[in-house]
Amino acid sequence: MKKQAVNPYLPSFEYVADGELHVFGNRLYIYGSHDTFGATAFCEKDYVCWSAPADDLSDWKCEGVIYRKNQDPMNKKGKMRMFAPDVCKGVDGRYYLYYGLSFSPSISVAVCDEPAGKYEFYGYVKHPDGKLYGRKKGDFFPFDPGIINDNGKVFLYSGFSPDVWYLRLGIDLVSPVKGANGNQVVELENDMLTVKTVKQLIPGTKNSAGTGFEGHEFYEASSIRKFGEKYYFIYSSILSHELAYAVSDYPDRDFRFAGTLHSNAEMYEEKAHNYWGNNHGSIECVNGEEWE
């Protein structure tokens, strides 16, 4: 147990990045990638989960390891990293965890009867013909999935859309990453795996002209929330240091850029300690009144 109501809310030995917060029942759960102290790469560890009572966000509990990276059939030796995950309650009442393995063009799914129990590998998001989503013509590169069960309709959001600045860093991108097209929203069948429809959602730098997203195009880190009758799509913009958001009356279309939630760059400081850095996070409404 850890009593802490201010930042950092997790102990100093813990590195759960790319946080997705969800209230299930009477507890708030934190899901995310898992880093190692002093590592030279992101997301090298198995997934853990932390939770707290929804009415006492100072009383944090480590739920332990909920899913190990070698449980995925593509990663039996555990050499691939599990990037930013998201979780939703499925139409069958079970909990589904969506994640990507390193830069593999696919999205894996694990399932559990409890929000923070021991998840088991379930399958890969796939088209009706069995071909994995991310490997068919027209699919954008799947990365950092966000997931929502909207009254029985399940929508998956993903994409990785770097601009030319990313290439200048000398990073060796895998061939499926074409870049700068934005992201997609996929409606899933009730099995939580099979693609029903695929649509473009937020533009990248290649197709943002006249959309209102200019300068804040999609880069990565898809996250979706519904509050009231509005849908809020939260993402890391092409600026990378900016957590931006868009709003719509629908889960799969007509999103408009609405602003910036947060920036972790000290861009206007004379002696900035953190001029640039990537950003990934989300929001949650707790007890119907608190935004975290």
Sheet (strand 182-188) strand order: 146-150, 153-158, 182-188, 195-203
> Catalytic one among 144, 220, 242, 284?
220
- Is there a contact between 141 and 107 (Cβ–Cβ < 8 Å)? no
How would you label 89-113 residue by residue, b for 16+ Cβ within 10 Å and e otherwise?
ebbeeebbbbbbbebbbbbbbbbbe
User: Using CA atoms, how far apart are residues 230 and 6, in angstroms rounded to an integer?
Assistant: 29
What are the tokens at 224? 């979706």
Contact 185, 201 (CB under 8 A): yes
The answer to whether 108 and 99 have CB atoms below 8 angstroms apart is yes
The three-state secondary structure class of 74 is helix
Amino acid found at 198? V
- Asked about 252 being catalytic, the answer comes back as no
CA dist 234 and 282 (Å) reads 6
**Cα–Cα dist 199/179, whole Å:** 17
Torsion angle defined by CA atoms of residues 195, 204, 103 and 145, in that order, rounded to the nearest 10 degrees = -50
| Burial status of residue 12 (CB atoms within 10 A of its CB: 0-12, 13-18, 19 or more) | exposed
How far apart CA 36 and CA 189 sit, in angstroms, is 36
Q: Verify whether residue 220 is a known catalytic residue.
A: yes
**Which spans in the chain are helix H?**
164-168
Give catalytic residues, as residue numbers.
18, 220
